Structure 1
Amino acid sequence: MGVSIGTSKGRGKGRRRGGPISEINVTPLVDVMLVLLIVFMVAAPMMTMGVPIDLPKTSAPPMTLERKPITVTVAPDGTISVEKAVVTLEGLLPVIASLAGEGAEERLYVRGDATAAYGNIMKVLGSLSAAGYSRIGLITEPEPRP
């Protein structure tokens, strides 16, 4: 009689319980990535919104510019004015180009009346931006404090 050492063919799984597994389970990874994707999709639009704040008051003098910026005004009826001269939307860019000493680096201020149609103001901003002007500011007035 002898002792035989055989293989475990036909008996059980063929490996010991609790041994190392050489396969990667990607299901938990996919679950975590989907949760992160949803969190970032919800959080991203909230990050672009402005936060309402009260700016501090100061006694510092206002900033002085070496050159006066060009002011474009949009009236409630949609009339566009550049430095008090009435222009059309098509004639806006040639007038701005003739006044701009620094070219596309010129500082522009857009004054839109509160009752003016939003679309009219956006047409002016869009045409100025499409022409290459990047230093465009919107003029507002501070609300009176009670």
Structure 2
Amino acid sequence: MAFKTQDEGDDVMGEINVTPLVDVMLVLLVVFIVTAPLLTNAIHVNLPKTAETAPPEEKDPVYVSVDASGKIFIDKTEIALDAFENELLTRKAADPEIALNLNADDGVQYGIVAKVMSSIERAGISKLSVLTIAQ
């Protein structure tokens, strides 16, 4: 083992000792690997598998659509959000067993869809289907 003395020169060591840095990083990695599964608060449930079901036979439902820009349509007729609930009340008075199919664009803001669904509930319509595309 050789020791350096003052007489041999004052050369500055230009290398970084990375061994302590690697040791610290490996310890942190182990800590994160051990604690990561403990941080999830999800309850794991095995959902039952069912066959695809067909909706019950009913007369033609009324289609409520919300496009990407937030415009509301009832059977291809544009209607303002303010008048939407009154139109539903009128249709429910004409047909108490009215059924609605809700089509909402994937890009529409959630708040608009929530307002539409709230209006449907206030109008007293209980038969509502939210249409999606199976993947």
Cα deviations across residues 7-60 of structure 1 (Å, max 9, x unaligned)?
xxxxxxxxxxxxxxxxxxxxxxxxxxxxxxxxxxxxxx959x994x654368xx
Q: How many residues align?
A: 94
Match of 1:82 in 2: 74
Secondary structure of residue in 2 paired with 1:92: helix
Shift of 1:98: 3.5
* TM-score, reference length from structure 2: 0.57
Alpha-carbon distance change, 46 to 91 in structure 1, aligned in 2, over 3 angstroms: farther
* Secondary structure in structure 1 of the residue aligned to 2:103: strand
Alpha-carbon RMSD across the aligned residues, in angstroms, is 3.1
Q: TM-score, normalised by structure 1?
A: 0.53
Q: 1:94 maps to which residue?
A: 86
Q: Is 1:70 the equivalent of 2:62?
A: yes
Residue by residue over 1:89-127, the C-alpha shift from the partner in whole angstroms, topping out at 9 and shown as x without a partner, is 111123223334432x31111110011111110100011
Amino-acid identity (%): 23
Q: Is the 8 A contact 2:89 2:123 kept in 1?
A: no
Gaps of 5+ in 1: 1-44
Alignment-derived partner of residue 135 in structure 1: 127
- Higher RCO (C-alpha 8 Å, min separation 6): 2
Question: Is the partner of 1:142 in helix, strand or coil?
Answer: coil
Equivalent residue for 1:23? Answer: none
Which stretches in structure 2 are left out of the alignment for 5+ residues?
A: 1-41
